Amino acid sequence: MRGFRNFLRDFKSNIVTFITIITLIILFNIFNLTSVVISSFLSSTTSVDSIRVYMLDADKGDISKLSTDLISFDGVVDVQIFLPSDSKKFIEANTSNIKGLDKFSEQFFPTFIDVKLNAEGIDNIKVLKEEMYKLSNVEFVSYGEKVLGKFFQIKFITNVFIIVLLILVCLSLASVIFNATRISLYKYNEEMKVYLLVGGTRPFISMPYIFSSMITSLVTSILAIVIFVMLSSFLNSLLVDIDIFMKTPPVWHYIFQIIILNIFSLISSAISVVLFIKRVSSVNDV
């Protein structure tokens, strides 16, 4: 009860603290939303559900045998044969920006088999690739791993950046709470001295101030996330007209964020109060 009373008494003087914390959390969530959009894009771009097996010069019998061998692998659900004529049509259909492609003879285009995979095959795609290499008449096997590797590197770097940013935000928030708590405690300097003189225990003296700081952190973090969610929803409604949609993080993400931020706030406010009480008690001893 005393902690809540302290929170109400310090509300006006802590307005700057509230604004600072809210700004920090909103800025973090803006960067985090950008990271989520990038990760979502990379996940959809790097989704692999097939392997391409390119063949050496082979007759129809060899192609048929190879397709039969491929369909027998665990995790393979279908195979589709692309002869040079089919390869040419496929490339023309998917690379409209390449001019003069129709002038090339079909002999310049490869024969390949597109191998469709199920969930089991996708999980074991590297093993399947190595096994397919061992089959006869196979020249090259690929599922775009080089491109995927670069995309995964970008995704990894983005995730590391967000984690580092979250740590920095937590430390900044802890610093703000530490200083705000320390400033507020000066108002209750005489009150603390009285409690110490009448034999009040340190937990009894410190808990209301720690609780007050926790309320400040909890209220501001929730308020910041509510504001951010409202802003992102409003922005999404504007982008709908141009067929752009931002995928916002799930609710558990915000809950986790609030918990982490408040843990840092609890630690910083506790340190601030304990150090201040120690200083006041040492003055009283003198």
Q: What is the pLDDT of residues 231-277, one digit of tens each?
A: 877 777 766 554 445 666 778 888 888 888 888 888 888 888 888 77
- Per-residue confidence (pLDDT) for residue 282, from 0 to 100: 63
What's the Cα-to-Cα distance from 118 to each of 47, 49, 77, rounded to whole Å? 12, 7, 6
- Per-residue confidence (pLDDT) for residue 200, from 0 to 100: 65
On whether the CB atoms of residues 188 and 7 are closer than 8 A, the answer is: no
The DSSP symbol for 250 reads P
- Per-residue confidence (pLDDT) for residue 148, from 0 to 100: 62
Question: What is the rounded average pLDDT for all residues in the chain?
Answer: 75
- Per-residue confidence (pLDDT) for residue 167, from 0 to 100: 85
- Per-residue confidence (pLDDT) for residue 183, from 0 to 100: 78
CA distance 137 to 58: 7
**DSSP assignment of 5-59, as one string?**
HHHHHTTTTTHHHHHHHHHHHHHHHHHHHHHHHHHHHHHHHS---EEEEEE-S--
Residue 21 clears pLDDT 60, i.e. is over it: yes
| Mean pLDDT along residues 197-217 | 76
CA distance 215 to 236: 31
Residue 97 clears pLDDT 80, i.e. is over it: no
Which residue carries 């150090």 as its tokens? 275
> Would you state the structure tokens that stand for residue 83, as one six-digit string?
């002869």
CA distance 15 to 11: 6
pLDDT band at residue 286 under the 50/70/90 scheme: very low
- Per-residue confidence (pLDDT) for residue 129, from 0 to 100: 81
On whether the CB atoms of residues 209 and 273 are closer than 8 A, the answer is: yes
Q: What is the pLDDT of residues 73-82, one digit of tens each?
A: 888 888 888 7
Residue 143 clears pLDDT 70, i.e. is over it: yes
On whether the CB atoms of residues 114 and 76 are closer than 8 A, the answer is: no
Number of C-beta neighbours around residue 21 at 10 A: 26
Residue 23 clears pLDDT 80, i.e. is over it: yes
- Per-residue confidence (pLDDT) for residue 133, from 0 to 100: 79
| Phi-psi map region of 114: left, alpha, beta (phi>0 left; psi -120 to 50 alpha) | beta
- Per-residue confidence (pLDDT) for residue 128, from 0 to 100: 80
Residue 285 clears pLDDT 80, i.e. is over it: no
Domains belonging to the chain, first-starting first, are 2-45+149-285 (no CATH), 50-143 (3.30.70.3040)
- Per-residue confidence (pLDDT) for residue 2, from 0 to 100: 62
Q: What is the pLDDT of residues 36-64, one digit of tens each?
A: 777 666 565 555 778 888 877 666 667 77
- Per-residue confidence (pLDDT) for residue 132, from 0 to 100: 82
Report CA torsion sign: 57, 59, 62, 65.
positive
| Mean pLDDT along residues 148-169 | 77
